Amino acid sequence: MTEVVAALIWQGERFMICQRPAHKARGLLWEFVGGKVEPGETKEAALIRECREELGVTVAVGDLHMELTHVYPDLTVHLSLFHAVIAEGTPVLLEHNDLRWITRREIHDYAFCPADEEILRRLTAEA
pLDDT score, position 38: 97
- Rg of the chain over Cα atoms, rounded to whole angstroms, equals 13
- How many domains are contained in the chain? 1
pLDDT score, position 25: 85
Mean pLDDT by 10 residues, the chain (127 residues): 97 96 91 97 98 98 97 94 97 96 96 94 88
Report in angstroms the alpha-carbon separations of 73 from 35, 44, 77, 111. 18, 27, 11, 18
What pTM did the predictor assign? 0.94
State the residue range of the domain holding 88. 2-126
Looking up residue 21, the CATH number of its domain turns out to be 3.90.79.10
pLDDT score, position 27: 86
pLDDT score, position 57: 98
Report in angstroms the alpha-carbon separations of 102 from 49, 114, 125. 24, 18, 16
